[in-house]
């Protein structure tokens, strides 16, 4: 029996005996995947020992600036799709298939299309370096752009590349794994250490090569950090499948990064229970209260570093409208700790005259497709009610959205720009977070955004791309407590920066002492840090998980999201879902899906790793 027939027969057996043998078939697949991952890792390590970076005297590789337009051109390479896919984990890169242009006999049209791009990455088969047209294109590009070459094939062809001065990533092998490695090397997800084994020309003598650092996340397999993919995936698959079957959420995305490496990233289920649109890794979710730490607290930390916000300063010092009220003396620190005396929420009534189904000059605050709030609603209703809210005794912990409304006002006055603009310019854009931000419908098609609840009261429609939280909606979608949308990969980048002590991509975003201050336990009456939620020593069930270390910090979101960072175990965990679709359900909470997945990650770690974590206490 041929191998292909044997595989077909085995697939038929698994299908016919699904009920009786599903576990064994699943186990077979997972064991096979673990074997494939081990093979992939071996090949990746071979690539690390053989891929050479040449002509990098300027230090262009790894690329630092992600706020520029970057293009990728493929010339006769087999694994261009793999290369481009990895590039787009780091920042938006536009792909151009060079073959489509070369058929005309010249690359004039390609050069015209590349005009708006500052940096061009060209993947090229080594043998094509002898082609005059190809060399003319490459020399033209290196004169006009920041050019980086990824060359795949026998090094003997390097002798034809003496005219090329642009940085070159060269790999003898042309495989999916070397394409993966070269792409990650472009952005510093992996290092370059190899050297040429012999001389090929005067420009490329024996021993040539540059060492480049790791400055961003690497995308790899669990085995690289000592975890078994079979154990990890089986556990997470079971927990997410349970949540979907129990209708706790129609879909989810789970991401795990350890030691600066993304080792697990998988999408489950669908956008809705009718299963018409499967969940994708690059889907954009409403992260709800994860906004508190991923936008507002980040902004406060940045302003704190600039000495534009002081934790012990009073609120009225920054926001004059609070002067003369009993809110004037609230300290910025107490707003972050949720112990300012402010209530958990404030009723914000909507009268018929407050909302219009169509935009007019008076109604421009967009809360939904057919819901436009009057322009002065914040000044006339929201802020007066916030300032007149009944206070409780200070130093009492009350988890409050209201405090984040307050912090937004302070941030915007000190930053002199809106909160959404400030965090985008200071964090999201330079970090390469392609989707993170407020008001996603201004930037992305609705189909990429996972829907949340059917709002039958205020906006009278399915919410898709509009913030779920009604208070944030009254502000037009930009608030301190809610309104942020993002992918799992975006949040992993942001919190790897935090785990790095405020640096990422060879740039500093926050001072390390600021990161340490805000994420440490700072309250005498709760588990909270400054803005951040934290590990709870009093939780009988374990929060955020039974096996989480006491250093763990992060936040959850009402829509069914969370991000947790465990510095002791060098772990970043992101869970995104839409548990509120089509209506609010507490099943995800009662199932403890988010917590149990995090525990599954710890359980997949080797005993040696867990012992090391305990010893570091």
Lowest mean pLDDT among 17-31, 65-79, 97-111: 17-31
Closest Cα partner for 190 from 285, 330, 50, 66?
A: 50
pLDDT of 71 > 90? The answer is: yes
Question: Is the predicted pLDDT of residue 12 greater than 60, yes or no?
Answer: no
Under a CB-based contact definition with an 8 Å cutoff, are residues 234 and 603 in contact? no
Query: 192-226 pLDDT, tens per residue?
Result: 999 999 999 999 999 999 999 999 999 999 999 99
Q: How confident is the model at residue 9 (pLDDT cuts 50, 70, 90)?
A: very low
What does the pLDDT look like over 310-339, one tens digit per residue?
A: 999 999 999 999 999 999 999 999 999 999
Token pair, residue 139, equals: 């020399």
pLDDT digits (tens, 9 = 90+) for 114-151: 999 999 999 999 999 999 999 999 999 999 999 999 99
pLDDT of residue 35: 83
What pLDDT was estimated at residue 572? 98
Say if residue 24's pLDDT is above 80. no
CA quadruple 350, 353, 356, 357: dihedral sign: positive
pLDDT of residue 99: 81
Q: Which is higher by pLDDT, 248 or 100?
A: 248
**pLDDT at 4 (0 to 100):** 47
**What pLDDT, on a 0 to 100 scale, did the predictor assign at position 261?**
98
pTM: 0.94
Confidence band of 164 (pLDDT split at 50, 70, 90): very high
Contact 196, 51 (CB under 8 A): no
| pLDDT of 75 above 60 | yes
**Residue 15, pLDDT above cutoff 50:** no
How much is the pLDDT for 106?
A: 79
Mean pLDDT of the chain: 93
Reply yes or no on whether the pLDDT at 187 is more than 50. yes
- Residue 611 pLDDT greater than 60, yes or no: no
pLDDT value of position 101 = 84
553-557 and 561-566 as β-strands: parallel, antiparallel, unpaired?
A: antiparallel
Which DSSP category does 130 fall into? Answer: G
Q: What is the pLDDT of residues 394-450, one digit of tens each?
A: 889 999 999 999 999 999 999 999 999 999 999 999 999 999 999 999 999 999 999
**pLDDT tier, 27 (very low <50, low <70, confident <90, very high otherwise):** low
pLDDT of residue 610: 60
Q: Could you say which DSSP state residue 450 is in?
A: P
β-strands 261-269, 251-258: how paired?
antiparallel
Work out the pLDDT band at 32, boundaries 50, 70, 90.
confident
Q: Which residues pair with 331 in a beta bridge?
A: 314
pLDDT, position 98: 87
Contact between 21 and 29 (Cβ < 8 Å): no
pLDDT > 70 fraction of the chain, expressed in percent and rounded: 93
Contact between 167 and 148 under an 8 Å Cβ cutoff? The reply is: yes
The answer to which of 89-103, 290-304, 377-391, 492-506 has the lowest mean pLDDT is: 89-103
pLDDT at position 3 is: 43
Q: Is the pLDDT of residue 548 over 70?
A: yes
User: Residue 87: is its pLDDT beyond 50?
Assistant: yes
Confidence of residue 14 (pLDDT cuts 50, 70, 90): very low
- Cα–Cα distance, 1 to 87 (Å, whole number): 42
Is it the case that residue 585 has pLDDT exceeding 80? yes
- What is the pLDDT averaged over residues 4-17? 40
- Residue 307 C-alpha from the chain's centroid: 28
The predicted structure's pLDDT at residue 28: 54
**How far is C-alpha 423 from the geometric centre of its chain's CA atoms?**
14
Give me the mean pLDDT over the 167-179 stretch.
97
Mean pLDDT of 369-374: 98
Q: Which of 99-108, 269-278, 279-288 has the lowest mean pLDDT?
A: 99-108
Pair 296, 481: CB distance under 8 Å: yes
Collect all residues with Cβ–Cβ distance below 8 Å to 60 and sequence separation of at least 6: 146, 148, 167
Assign 70 a pLDDT band (cuts: 50, 70, 90): very high
pLDDT at residue 578 greater than cutoff 90:
yes
The reported pLDDT for the residue numbered 608 is 64
Please determine, for residue 251, whether its predicted confidence score (pLDDT) is greater than 90: yes
pLDDT of residue 211: 98
Query: Does residue 160 carry a pLDDT above 50?
Result: yes
- CA dist., res. 303 & res. 498, Å (int): 16
| pLDDT tier for residue 8 given thresholds of 50, 70 and 90 | very low
């Amino acid at each position: 029996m041929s191998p292909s027939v044997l595989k077909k027969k085995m697939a038929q057996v698994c299908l016919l005996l699904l009920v009786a043998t599903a576990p064994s078939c699943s186990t077979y697949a997972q064991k096979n995947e673990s074997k494939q991952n081990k093979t992939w890792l071996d090949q990746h390590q071979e690539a690390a020992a053989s891929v050479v970076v040449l002509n990098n005297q300027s230090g262009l590789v790894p690329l630092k600036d992600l706020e520029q337009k970057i293009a990728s051109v493929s010339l006769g390479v087999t694994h261009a799709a793999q290369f481009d896919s990895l590039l787009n984990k780091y920042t938006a890169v536009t792909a151009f298939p060079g073959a489509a242009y070369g058929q005309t006999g010249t690359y004039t049209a390609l050069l015209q299309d590349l005009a708006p791009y500052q940096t061009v990455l060209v993947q090229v088969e080594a043998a094509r370096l002898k082609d005059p047209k190809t060399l003319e294109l490459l020399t033209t590009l290196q004169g006009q752009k920041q050019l980086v070459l990824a060359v795949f094939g026998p090094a003997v062809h390097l002798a034809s590349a003496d005219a090329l001065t642009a940085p070159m990533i060269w790999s003898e092998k042309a495989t999916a794994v070397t394409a993966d490695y070269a792409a990650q090397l472009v952005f510093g997800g992996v290092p370059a250490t190899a050297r040429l084994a012999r001389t090929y020309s005067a420009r490329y003598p024996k021993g040539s090569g540059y060492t480049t650092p790791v400055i961003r996340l690497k995308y790899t397999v669990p085995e690289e950090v000592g975890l078994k993919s079979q154990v990890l995936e089986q556990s997470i698959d079971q927990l997410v499948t349970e949540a979907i079957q129990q209708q706790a959420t129609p879909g989810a995305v789970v991401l795990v990064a350890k030691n600066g490496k993304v080792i697990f990233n998988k999408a489950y289920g669908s956008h809705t229970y009718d299963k018409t649109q499967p969940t994708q890794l690059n889907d954009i979710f409403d992260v709800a209260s994860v906004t508190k730490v991923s936008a507002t607290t980040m902004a406060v930390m940045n302003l704190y570093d600039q000495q534009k916000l002081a934790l012990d300063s009073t609120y009225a010092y920054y926001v004059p409208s609070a002067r003369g009220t009993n809110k004037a003396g609230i300290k910025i620190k107490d707003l972050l700790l949720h112990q300012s005396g402010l209530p958990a929420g404030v009723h914000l009534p909507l009268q018929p005259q407050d909302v219009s189904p169509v935009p007019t000059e008076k109604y421009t605050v967009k809360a939904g497709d057919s819901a436009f709030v009057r322009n002065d609603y914040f000044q006339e209703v929201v802020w007066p009610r916030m300032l007149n809210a009944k206070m409780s005794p200070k130093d009492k912990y009350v988890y409050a959205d209201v405090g984040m409304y307050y912090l937004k006002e302070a941030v915007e006055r000190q930053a002199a720009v809106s909160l959404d603009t400030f965090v985008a310019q200071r964090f999201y854009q330079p970090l390469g977070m392609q989707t993170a931000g407020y008001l996603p419908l201004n930037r992305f098609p609705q189909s990429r955004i996972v829907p949340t609840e059917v709002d039958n009261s205020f906006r009278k429609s399915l919410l898709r791309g509009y913030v779920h939280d009604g208070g944030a909606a009254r502000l037009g979608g930009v608030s301190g407590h809610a309104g942020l949308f993002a992918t799992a990969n975006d949040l992993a980048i942001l919190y790897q920066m935090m785990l790095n002590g405020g640096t990422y991509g060879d740039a500093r975003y926050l001072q390390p002492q600021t990161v340490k201050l805000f994420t440490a336990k700072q309250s005498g009456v709760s588990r909270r840090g400054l803005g951040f939620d934290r590990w709870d020593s009093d939780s009988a069930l374990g929060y955020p998980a039974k096996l989480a270390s006491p250093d763990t910090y992060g936040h959850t979101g009402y829509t069914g999201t969370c991000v947790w960072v465990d510095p002791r175990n060098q772990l970043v965990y992101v869970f995104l879902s839409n548990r509120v679709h089509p209506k609010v359900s507490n099943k995800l909470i009662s199932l403890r899906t988010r917590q149990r997945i995090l525990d599954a990650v710890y359980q997949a770690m080797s005993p040696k790793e867990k012992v090391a974590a305990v010893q570091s206490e």
